[in-house]
Every structure is written in C-alpha cells, then in structure tokens.
C-alpha cells in the first residue's frame, strides 16, 4: 500500500498510522536501509516460499464478515484499502475458522509493506508454525491463555514484588498482555520500536514474547510498585503501555520504546525452561477446563431436575 502515490492522501488520520510518529516518510519511498530490513522479513519466518500445505478454501460466515468489516473500518480510512484487508482476512479464515482482532492488527501492518500474497504467506507461518503463535487467533484462544499463565509463572520468579502487587489487584496477564502477544504490539509501540519488535518476533519466535513481557515488568517496576492494589486502572495503563502514560515523544526524546525492545532481546530465558512451563500450564489449563465442563453439566442436570413435573402435580 505504501508504494501508491496517493496512499497518504487517502489514509490521512487512519487509526493504523496514529503511532507512526514520522517513522514512515509521507509521500516518499522507504529509506533504503529500512526497505532492505523489511524485505528480509518474509525470509525470517520462511514465508519466502510457497505455502505448503495450501489452505482448503472456506468462506467466512456472516458473523465473521461483519467483524472483518468493522475492524477494517477501525483501521483504514480508504474503502479500497478496507476491502483489501477484508479480502486478506477472508483468505486466512480457513486456518482457524475463527477470528481474533489481533489477527486484523497484524494483517493491516503487513499490507502496508507487502503485496497480499506475501502478507498471506507470512500470516500462515505465524499462525501455523510452532515457533510462532499457532492457536492465538481464536475468539477464545487457549494457546494465548496458556502462555499468559506461563508469563505469570515467570513474573513470580523474576519480579516477585510486582507479581504480588498484581495478585492483590486481581489482575491476570490475560487482562493486559493480548496486544503485546496476539496483536504484536500494533497500536502499542511507536512505529520505530514496532518494527524492531516485529523483526525480533519473526527471528526468535514466541520466546521473544516472554522476554519482552519480562522487560516491561523490569522497566516499569519502580512505577508499578508506587501504586496501591486499588489503583487498578493506573496499573493497567502502565502494563499496556497506554499512550496516556507513554507518549510518542518519549521515543523522539530518548528512544524509550526502542531501548525497551533492545533490552528485551537480552533477557535471559532458557528454551528448555520455557517449553517445560508451557507443557505444565497446558495441563493445568486443560484440567481447569475439564472441571468447568463438569460443573456446567452438573448445573444443567440440576436445572433439568427442577423442571420435572410429577404425575400427581398434573392437572386433571
């Protein structure tokens, strides 16, 4: 999309570009160094080859089409660009036959930089390969919940004071980490840092999610510990890196966001520990869901018993 001469005229004020912070030059080609970096992204995730196996075509249902349209309207200003986003989401639909808004975030960013076919191949790699985040793009993504539970375990180990504060505030990672993980920090980081983040994810896979999450804790530890457990909204604003707490000027003045991503790359995290924690939390989640299903079945049975009409209660 960026290659079109009229792109910036059509997308003036588009929500997707609100955190561009003058990183992508308006009305000009990408600087050569940046263009070379971005051109390497498909190769980082193996998307520089044909999709294998190909997806079996499956048209989205009406509910999905409505959601695609709403998300496209919340992303682009131009109708033609919205339709391209909707078309790409429709092509990816057969992967899960489900949808999470985070997929729309990633798809829109890739469409800025790549043709639809390349963006499609990249999304399939991210959504299929164990290195990345398969299972994240469901409306209720168990894979994400598992990884949020892993992140909580790591936080308790690495930053016990912050973890204790969040526990007292009844805040679980599922409540604030989805834009980091499922949405790849689109709408969270200014574009300069966002491009670093996406590149690190494509290179290192899901392990980078956990390094970044721990980096956010470490960077904001002092600020977080100044809050009381009742300051839930303020705590969430800090954890989500909301713009009201962390404006784009921080990047311009000190490279605050870019240094956060750079520091995250250096967080020590053993692959063996991470995989062991993922396996343990997957078992815990499965057991929790089993108990919930049993309780729901029990409640349904009790409700059915309450509705039984005995023969001596029937009207003559």
Spatial CA neighbour of 203 closest among 51, 49, 40, 92: 40
Report H helices in the chain. Answer: 7-10, 32-39, 41-44, 62-73, 79-92, 101-113, 116-128, 142-158, 160-168, 178-181, 191-204, 207-225, 232-239, 249-254, 256-265, 271-306
Tokens of 111: 């469409």
The per-residue pLDDT for 176 is 86
Query: What's the confidence (pLDDT) of residue 293?
Result: 84
Residues in the chain: 316
CA distance 58 to 28: 38
Domains and CATH numbers, the chain: 7-128 (1.10.8), 142-274 (1.10.472.80)
- Decide if 204 contacts 133 (C-beta within 8 A): no
Is the backbone peptide bond immediately before 53 cis, with ω within 30 degrees of 0?
yes
pLDDT at 55: 83
Instruction: Name every residue whose Cβ is closer than 8 Å to that of residue 50 and which is 6 or more positions away in sequence.
Output: 121
pLDDT, averaged per 10 consecutive residues of the chain (316 residues), comes to 90 92 89 94 93 83 94 96 96 94 96 96 95 93 93 93 94 87 94 97 95 92 95 94 92 94 94 94 90 82 62 50
């Amino acid at each position: 999309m960026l290659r079109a001469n009229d792109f910036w005229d059509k997308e003036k004020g588009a929500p997707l570009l609100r955190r561009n912070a003058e990183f992508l030059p308006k009305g000009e080609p990408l600087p050569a160094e940046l263009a070379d970096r971005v051109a390497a992204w498909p190769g980082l995730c193996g998307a520089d080859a044909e999709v294998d196996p190909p997806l079996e075509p499956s048209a989205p249902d009406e509910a999905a089409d409505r959601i695609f349209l709403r998300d496209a309207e919340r992303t682009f200003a131009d109708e033609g660009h919205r339709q391209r986003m909707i078309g790409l989401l429709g092509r990816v639909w057969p992967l899960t036959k489900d949808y999470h808004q985070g997929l729309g975030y990633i798809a829109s960013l890739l469409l800025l930089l790549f043709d639809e076919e390349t963006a499609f191949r990249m999304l399939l790699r991210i959504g299929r390969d164990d290195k990345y985040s398969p299972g994240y793009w469901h409306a209720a993504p168990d894979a994400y919940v598992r990884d949020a539970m892993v992140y909580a375990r790591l936080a308790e180990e690495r930053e016990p004071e912050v973890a204790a504060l969040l526990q007292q505030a009844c805040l679980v990672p599922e409540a604030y980490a989805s834009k980091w993980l499922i949405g790849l920090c689109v709408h969270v980081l200014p574009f300069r840092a966002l491009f670093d983040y996406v590149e690190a994810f494509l290179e290192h896979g899901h392990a980078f999610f956990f390094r970044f999450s721990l980096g956010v804790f470490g960077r904001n530890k002092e600020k977080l510990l100044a809050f009381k457990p009742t300051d839930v909204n303020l705590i969430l604003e800090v954890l989500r890196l909301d713009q009201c707490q962390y404006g784009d000027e921080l990047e311009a003045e000190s490279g605050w966001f870019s240094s956060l991503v750079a520091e995250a790359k250096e967080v020590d995290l053993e692959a063996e520990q991470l995989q062991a924690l993922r396996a343990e939390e997957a078992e815990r989640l499965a057991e929790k869901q089993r108990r919930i299903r049993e309780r729901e079945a029990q409640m349904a049975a009790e409700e059915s018993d309450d509705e039984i009409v005995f023969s001596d209660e029937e009207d003559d």
